[in-house]
Structure 1
Amino acid sequence: MSFYIYRSSAGSGKTFTLAKTYLTLSLSGEQPDYYRHILAITFTNKATAEMRERILETLRVLSEGNNNPLTIEVQKELDIDEATLRQRANDMHENILAHHDYLAILTIDAFVHRLVRPFARELGIAQGFEIELEEKRVLQDAVDRVFDSAERDPLCGEFLFRYILDSLEDDKGWNVKKSVLDFAGHLLKEDAADAIKSLRNLSLPHYSEIINWLRKWKSEFETSMEERAKNLIQTCEENGIREDYLDGKSTVFKVIKKIGDVQIETLYGQASLRKYAEKPNWTKKSCPKDMVALVEDFTANARTLFLELLQQQNLYLLRIQLLKSIYAQGLLSEINRHVQRIREERNILLISDLHRRIGQLHQQSDANHIYEMTGLRFQHVLIDEFQDTSTLQWNNLKPLVINALSDGHDALVVGDAKQAIYRWRNGNARQFVHLHSDAGSRIIHESAKVVPLSTNYRSLPEIVGFNNELFALLTNDKSDTLTGNTYKDLQQTSHRNGTGFIEVFIPSVDNLQKEEKCNIHASYTVSTIQQLLLDGYLPGDIAVICRKSNQISWIAEALKKENIEINSDEALLLFNSHHVQTVYHLMMHLAYPGDAYFQKTLLVLCATASQKEDAVPELVMYKFDKQGKALRDALQKIGVTLPEFSPSNFNLHALYLQCVTALNLQKNYDNWLLEFENIVLDYQEKKGHVLKDFLT
């Protein structure tokens, strides 16, 4: 028996290896239904469907006596004659078609779903419960309820609006509901379960009290520091204490001035504060004797101030950070409250709840007994995409693997630890990297065989060679053992003919503004694409990948200016344009004037566009009304006058132009606004002038 741990990379034949192992095990004997004893775990419905289809298709090909790369490998592994293999494949194929439910190629969620029913009572689950596999659907409903509440509850509205403001400032995109929904995903994270549980004890009024207390503490602390710093400066002016009397000259006074200007957070990141707090004597030898006593008294008071600041550093920074994040925490708590209510109303359990409850059941009962009670007796366990397996999920699957190994059978996992670094689906990179030395299971440790998949079937040699050098460089960082172990033993060879080319361009942009940085990257991208087209590559051969969606718009704008056609989601590109976002939300407000969400989002977008973000905290306190009067008053403060709108008498295109004019965008009329205008004109020509229909 062996526990094979296949370490893969993109293009290394991971799925091929999994399918080959499944078929080799299934066809290793005369039993046409031996596949019933094999559990193959995947992580998406799509991967499950593809795996099932691949198994059935390969069996069909084998039964017909035909060959493909997979069938050749299976026959080589089994070392049996072609006629025997053909008969076994045919029998297994027919058996699966007749008993398809026994083909245990499942997502881990579907497997848990099967497992939990017989243990509903032990798990404390109410009768008649339903399992919600699509957890995001529940989150979406909860987020919708929060947005509805924001219209009626001013406190909920304030927390939501503050989050909207922070999202826009952090370039998280215009689609605020999507941003909130993505943020709500924290409620499903396995490693956040304990923290999420504590959220139930705090309501928005509690958070509001905490915010008021933190603001009061911050204000009192900063006011005290500010007054003492200004007193020191006044002492210098009144007593004629000059910079050149002190060691460090202007540096000391710069520190004091920053305290007086309440730039404390910035100051904590500089070495000068600690340097002078710990330095006992600042007086220069050249200081006039009649000034020495005054200077020493001044430095003693300044040092006391500096030392007190340093003593409060951790507390101050912690509370500042808490103030920055507490609106998001409060919003998450409110979403969680609605999630709990939805679960009770619908008598549902989220699939993530089941993973946790089964984990608890394992702690209370013998794991083998649990699986026996369900009739799930597997002799082989194959787990795909192991890097996406969470710690809890692995603990729930591990008894099956241990049982298979204990009975002398093989088990297998395959995955790419590099992907787990991004923590998709609660994946744990460290768990995969150290799986072969699992201290909690002797049999796993003793039977583990790590097998790197060292052939790349997808990339050309130059690309593979570059990755080999990069991975080797990453493993040399002795301070980061996780990264080193993740990229260890991943040297590959390319299976393809040709060469390939790779270039790394890192411009010096550290001291440039955001717009200047984007222009440099866009310009380089455009010139590179132009050269590739001249070299004979087709547009379809070229892909541009960006880290953030707003960068896509920047690159796309530069390409359009050079008449280079792009193939992308036009709506995505359009609505990453801040100008288009603002016009769209103004039109949404005109269509739904009483909607507080559109009112507040429009206000933030307009303030950002007019570079008057500082006005937003004050404007957010407006009590938005269904007639939109408060919004009009707030917008007028930042120079925006809304157009009049009458649903019974208007032209869609004319309204669009009025919105552009009202937002002062005529001078900045870019390609994205032009594209949006074309969409308006096209819709008007084909479907008419109904604003709400156009917006939906």
Structure 2
Amino acid sequence: MSVEEKLKTIVEFPEVRVVEASAGSGKTYALAARYIQLLLNPSLKDDSQSIRSILALTFTNKSAFEMKARILEFLKSLAFKKMNDVELKALLDPIGITEEQASQEAFKIMDDLIRHYNFFQVQTIDKFINALLSGCAFKIGLTANFKIRTNVKEYLQYSLDDFIDQATNDAGFRQIFEYFLDNYLYLENRIGWFPKEDLLILVCDLFYQHNTYGFDFQESSIIPDDLLKAKTKILKQMYSLKEILPEGTHKVFRRSLDKFLEKSRRGFDIDSVSDYFLREEFPIKKGNDVSDVLEKSWDNIRTDLRQLCETESVSVFNPAIRIFNHVFEGFKELSSKNDVLFLPELNKKAGYLFDAEYVTVQELYYRLASRFRHYLIDEFQDTSTLQWHNLEKMTEEALSTGGSLFYVGDRKQAIYGFRGGEVGLFDSVKNNFSVFNVKNDFLSKNWRSHRHIVEFNNEVFSISNLKRFLKQKEMFELEKNKKDIVIFGVEDLEKVSSLFVTAQQ
């Protein structure tokens, strides 16, 4: 269905409107049209300055610029009555006004925009969070004139160097670094002369993870001795395996095993283990038999390697976490002293305001000099849990007072998982707000690609083709005698189908 057809749905408040749209189906158009409908809707005229009550959020400056341009283009077309009949009908019928009324209102809105352009709130989510923090800076230990910086690595390096200097005179701090070095040399089997460089990389990674997901780190109860014992056991098993290798064993595997055992006298890095151990079957040429003893030994090594991976994954960062927690304290002191905040920290800092109840929604609106009643969010599939946490109370307050939430996205295009993007929010948000008149729209008409490309896309992502592919995958795994075959049930197929529902154009 086209954008115009979707716009014809009657606009009622409060409302949560969820729009799923594939690439090229008119997401920016839909957002801009919604913005115009909110400005022109006669039922919303109680707000003396309606521009102030609408907040549109995007992920990039380019997207914000494009949305603003499209909104202004709409207003110009309405004011001078240059909009075609199809668009005009789709835009105005849901709010019940005529072209003449829309033209007069468009002129007034344009005049209002010129006089109060700063209230034209179409911006990136980071810019909005920055404005939010600026209004409440003193509550997070900063002045109203704090500066946003991007050179976070320099501050972390300074804080790490300071912690290392303190360790020369503090036995407790020195013990923490010895703990790290034991793990670095014997468990990870590193041989570098400059572990500080690797440590700085770890500290920076932990800093970004801390601010992406909003949680504090906790050390695992597993100690290095547990890992060392597990690795020693595996090495013994591999030595025993080497003694019973039969004729016909793959030469490449035999050489890789010899090389691995030669280098791994006391411990090893899990990444250095041969990829052959990923195979369920022992690597042997066709026509040669594998004895029961060898098969059992192979299975035991693979089982212990799997358990080691799981154990090490929750404990390998223990030394780095311990160092990070001390470095981070110094980092916070230095940042506060210089009155700076770093870009990756914005959402985490904003979260403090709501978690600790430092600020109410009403106070927040007072400090922003605006009260938003309508929220529009672009590329919602890439919104992180932390970002949504910072918007949730405001959107809930808006909906409870007759406002609206309008979000657009495509779950298939979720590409920001590495920075916390949570595609699951697409469904969970509308479920949590189910009492507020939730409506789902699907934009399925492609305005960007040629017909043959669209037809090819429709064939590839058709439900029948997806089911065929999944069935062939199951059959392939059965033929290969895979031990852990993934079987897709009816519920799984429904989830896959719902994910690709907007792929048909």
Query: TM-score w.r.t. structure 2 length?
Result: 0.65
8 A Cα contact 1:33 1:92, kept in partner = no
Distance 1:230 1:51 in 2: 65
8 A Cα contact 2:52 2:370, kept in partner = no
Structure 1 residues 480 and 146: CA distance shift in structure 2, 3 A:
farther
Structure 1 residues 124 and 430: CA distance shift in structure 2, 3 A:
same
Residue 486 of structure 1 corresponds to: 499
Deviation at 1:117, TM superposition (A): 4.0
Distance 1:258 1:185 in 2: 33
Map 1:334-349 onto structure 2 (within 5 A).
Answer: 343-349=335-341
1:345-402, CA deviations, whole angstroms, 9 ceiling, x for partnerless residues? 5322235534234434434548544445435422221112212211122232223333
Distance 2:414 2:252 in 1: 46
Deviation at 1:130, TM superposition (A): 1.5
Structure 1 residues 230 and 459: CA distance shift in structure 2, 3 A:
closer
8 A Cα contact 1:139 1:339, kept in partner = no
SS of residue in 2 equivalent to 1:412: strand
Q: Percent identity?
A: 24
In the alignment, residue 459 of structure 1 is paired with which amino acid? S
Among 384, 397, 420, the residue aligned to 2:378: 384
Structure 1 residues 124 and 260: CA distance shift in structure 2, 3 A:
same
Give the count of matched residue pairs: 418
Distance 1:53 1:490 in 2: 27
Map 1:382-531 onto structure 2 (within 5 A).
Answer: 382-423=376-417, 425-436=419-430, 438=431, 440-444=432-436, 447-473=437-463, 476=467, 477=470, 478=488, 479=492, 483-492=496-505
Distance 1:427 1:71 in 2: 36
1:502-549, CA deviations, whole angstroms, 9 ceiling, x for partnerless residues? xxxxxxxxxxxxxxxxxxxxxxxxxxxxxxxxxxxxxxxxxxxxxxxx
Map 1:494-573 onto structure 2 (within 5 A).
Answer: none
Among 72, 90, 94, the residue aligned to 2:107: 90
Residue 174 of structure 1 corresponds to: none
Unmatched 5+ stretches in structure 1: 165-179, 202-208, 234-242, 244-248, 275-280, 284-298, 493-696
SS of residue in 2 equivalent to 1:449: strand
8 A Cα contact 2:381 2:413, kept in partner = yes
SS of residue in 2 equivalent to 1:80: coil
Structure 1 residues 217 and 50: CA distance shift in structure 2, 3 A:
same
Distance 2:346 2:252 in 1: 58
Residue 66 of structure 2 corresponds to: 50
Structure 1 residues 272 and 33: CA distance shift in structure 2, 3 A:
closer
Verify: 1:268 aligned to 2:277, yes or no. yes
Distance 2:123 2:424 in 1: 25
Map 1:81-480 onto structure 2 (within 5 A).
Answer: 81-121=98-138, 123-127=139-143, 130-132=146-148, 137-139=150-152, 141=154, 158-159=194-195, 184=205, 187=208, 192-194=213-215, 197=217, 220-221=232-233, 224-225=236-237, 228=240, 262=260, 265-266=274-275, 268-272=277-281, 309=301, 312-317=304-309, 343-365=335-357, 368-374=361-367, 375-423=369-417, 425-436=419-430, 438=431, 440-444=432-436, 447-473=437-463, 476=467, 477=470, 478=488, 479=492
Unmatched 5+ stretches in structure 2: 1-12, 166-180, 182-190, 262-272, 284-289, 471-487
8 A Cα contact 2:29 2:70, kept in partner = no
Residue 483 of structure 2 corresponds to: none
Residue 658 of structure 1 corresponds to: none
8 A Cα contact 1:381 1:400, kept in partner = no
Deviation at 1:486, TM superposition (A): 2.1
Structure 1 residues 336 and 138: CA distance shift in structure 2, 3 A:
farther
Distance 1:339 1:156 in 2: 26
Structure 1 residues 25 and 323: CA distance shift in structure 2, 3 A:
closer
Residue 21 of structure 1 corresponds to: 34
Residue 21 of structure 2 corresponds to: 8
Distance 1:259 1:3 in 2: 59
1:136-173, CA deviations, whole angstroms, 9 ceiling, x for partnerless residues? x2246458879999xx9x99973477799xxxxxxxxx
Distance 2:323 2:453 in 1: 45
Aligned Cα root-mean-square deviation (Å): 5.0
Deviation at 1:55, TM superposition (A): 2.6
Distance 1:76 1:351 in 2: 43
8 A Cα contact 1:386 1:414, kept in partner = yes
In the alignment, residue 268 of structure 1 is paired with which amino acid? F
Structure 1 residues 339 and 74: CA distance shift in structure 2, 3 A:
farther
Higher RCO, Cα 8 Å, sep 6+: 2
Distance 1:185 1:63 in 2: 53
Deviation at 1:227, TM superposition (A): 5.3
